[in-house]
Amino acid sequence: MSRCATVSRSLDEPVSGTAATAATWLLLEQPGPWGDKALTSSHLDSALGRALEAAADGTGVRIALIRRPGRHADPGPPPVRQVYAAHTVPGRVWLHSAATRDPRRLLDLDFAGLGAGDHRSFGAALGGRPHQGDPLALVCTNGKRDRCCALLGRPLATELVASGVRGVWEVTHLGGHRFAPTVLVLPYGYAYGRAEAHTVKEALHGVQQGRVVVEGCRGCSAWERPGQAAELAVRTAAGEYRAGVLSVVRTEGTAARREVTVAHADGRRWRVTVAQGASLPPRAESCGAAVPGSPARMDVLDVRELRTTALAS
């Protein structure tokens, strides 16, 4: 049987506009094996996992479990767990870290506030502080969710660590198994598909320079998928690769055809026409899919910079 990632690559399915959507990521260390729905099917207490899912629902916060790359025999509950929270909306980006002996403390967080970019509850509940270390590279490796993530993601994570890259974690789910190996880079929240070690290293180096790497980029998680595709198209058209200077400020039109307005911090604006269609021919969206699907794809039809007169109208 062909793997979903192999089929997607052979069909040259575009990766732009396919990133998971999350204004804020909340990451909790959980060693050992993970199941399909890791928050409730790992060695994290399942009642806690369900409570965290309910608390985050509709807040703009996406929760994932992380673990150190390597073998994952069950070592028992970790005495201290690493926790990260990252807000990815340009102009208000932050990455904070904490350590806790009791993961139930995460229920004391203000999830609505975190989703809106307010990190105060992360400090109050967990003693969180601004992260002082390297940027994070989260590599999806959850083979129980899709085998491509394990077969392609785990070797990538291992290679990155072996070559001296710091800030690498395995993560439970980033969406888009067919683009494995998939990687999320924080704090800016840009995701990458069909990632290779050199791309991840360049993306991490870019973060340290305040720059976004667009090669293999699926989009910024702060935006819905049409906005992800539009922002990347503006970066390419304008040659603008600085992080934090572009924002999606308006999306209009129908589901099939969106007019997305992208604004620059210096006042410039672009209108980007994005067509949403079905990927053909039908293909497995994941290795476990029983029926072939036609996943949505975002095609940028036009990028035009708006003049002052157009902005005023």
Burial of 267 from C-beta contacts in 10 A (0-12 / 13-18 / 19+):
exposed
Q: Assess contact for 128 and 83: CB atoms under 8 A.
A: yes
Give pLDDT tens digits for 35-71.
Answer: 889 899 999 999 999 999 999 999 999 999 999 998 7
**Strands 269-278, 296-305: pairing kind:** antiparallel
pTM: 0.93
Amino acid identity for residue 270 in this structure: W
Q: Is the dihedral of CA 205, 207, 212, 216 positive or negative?
A: positive
**Whole-number Cα distances in Å, 145 to 14, 35, 150, 234, 289:** 22, 7, 9, 34, 11
Q: Residue written as tokens 């870290």?
A: 97
For residue 95, what are the β-bridge partners? Answer: 86
Cis (ω within 30 of 0) for the bond into 187? yes
Under 8 Å between Cβ of 148 and 287: yes
- Summarised one tens digit per residue, pLDDT across range 254-294 is 999 999 999 999 999 999 999 999 888 887 778 877 788 88
Place of tokens 């992208």: 262
In the chain, what is the greatest distance between 2 CA atoms, to the nearest angstrom? 64
Q: Per-residue pLDDT tens for 69-118?
A: 987 666 677 889 999 999 999 999 999 999 999 999 999 999 999 999 99
Query: For the packed helices 197-208 and 154-162, what is the interaxial angle rounded to 10 degrees?
Result: 60
Strands 168-171 and 136-140, by their bridges, are: parallel
Q: How far apart are CA 234 and CA 252, in angstroms?
A: 17
